[in-house]
A = this chain, B = another copy of it.
């Protein structure tokens, strides 16, 4: 294979023209379905091209259409929360779903894993982008604007160019479940980024505390630090509020850190403390005990986001619009299930 690869020469349109006994222009017109070409000539060209295994140049097609046929999923979330140590977080699941959906519509997804030290946009020739959970004054949103790259958001501010992750519904599901599972004094640990998810969880938590008559206890942790920040925030809460009997921690990295703090404090999940997180991903499933979480239907989210972006680009697929179902609770051992 190695030998073959090194000696292989690409079959060009000139090779097809020579073999077919026609001009390169006629061959190009025949293969691209443009101009006036006799149908028998066109078929002859196609047969010769197939026999020679001619592959049209993707780069030439891009130049002709002025499109890159590439999109990207981007996020300014710190790598510690969006992909995590194992690289298989929220971001990764969405990227895989979007890449598959995009390919079926003739688009390639460029993969830019969140990295704290590098700007992927400076390297990407893309027609559009999907921005995951933008922060207020998100630097990537600003750069997309400056580069005039069209984009949709996922889990951002409500609007026609946003795919709703239904943060408030997810928060309500988890808080009601904790209360129904026996919690009387649930606390909340949030990231400090001000993203819509964190704001909405905060709002729903405060409203629930008021409605159900428990005093709200909220801590914030630094997203860029990840699990260790979650551990420290939980340790602080447990020391200052020993009456807490449940923690709602929407960022799963923080939840895995909190598990350690609970253990270190000599308490057990779920016997002495209930614990719930948001995204039902690898981390929720592999923690010990596994964490109660919410199915956000990331497959449908990926599908809708790509569909909406392609519509924005004037390249809507033929498939019918899909809806993202309401988030669904996945009860696990961390809340006694």
Could you tell me which A residues sit within 8 Å of B by CB distance?
1-2, 4-5, 8-11, 53, 55-56, 58-59, 62-63, 68-70, 83, 86-88, 92-93, 95-97, 99-100, 103-104, 106-113, 115, 117-118, 120-126, 134, 141, 143-148, 150-151, 153, 156-157, 159-161, 282, 285-286
A-B contact pairs, 15 of them (CB 8 A): A1-B141, A1-B153, A9-B148, A53-B146, A55-B121, A56-B122, A58-B125, A62-B125, A63-B63, A87-B93, A99-B111, A99-B112, A99-B113, A107-B123, A108-B112
Once bound together, how far apart are the Cα atoms of A294 and B120, in whole Å? 33
The one of B93, B100, B124 in contact with A58, judged by C-beta atoms closer than 8 angstroms, is: B124
- In the complex, how many angstroms separate the beta carbon of A49 from the nearest chain B beta carbon? 12
Residue of B nearest to A118 (CB): B103
- Nearest-neighbor residue (CB-CB) of A3 within chain B: B159
Q: Please report the C-alpha to C-alpha distance between residue A145 and residue B159 in the assembled complex, in whole angstroms.
A: 46
- Set of chain B residues within 8 Å of A2, measured between Cβ atoms: 159-161
CB distance from A98 to the nearest CB of B (A): 9
| Number of chain copies forming the complex | 2
Q: How far is the CA of A106 from the CA of B112 in the complex (A)?
A: 12
A104 to chain B, nearest CB (A): 6
A99-B111, A115-B100, A148-B9 known; A59 vs B68 contact (CB < 8 Å): yes
With A and B bound together, what is the CA distance between A201 and B10 in angstroms?
A: 36
- Interface residue from B69, B88, B104, B108 paired with A92 (Cβ < 8 Å): B88
Q: How far does the alpha carbon of A161 sit from the alpha carbon of B2 in the complex, in Å?
A: 7
Least CB separation from A96: chain B residue? B87
A150 cross-chain contacts in B, Cβ below 8 A: 5
B112 near A146: Cβ-Cβ < 8 Å: no
Contact flag A108-B87 (CB < 8 Å), given A55-B143, A146-B53, A161-B2: no
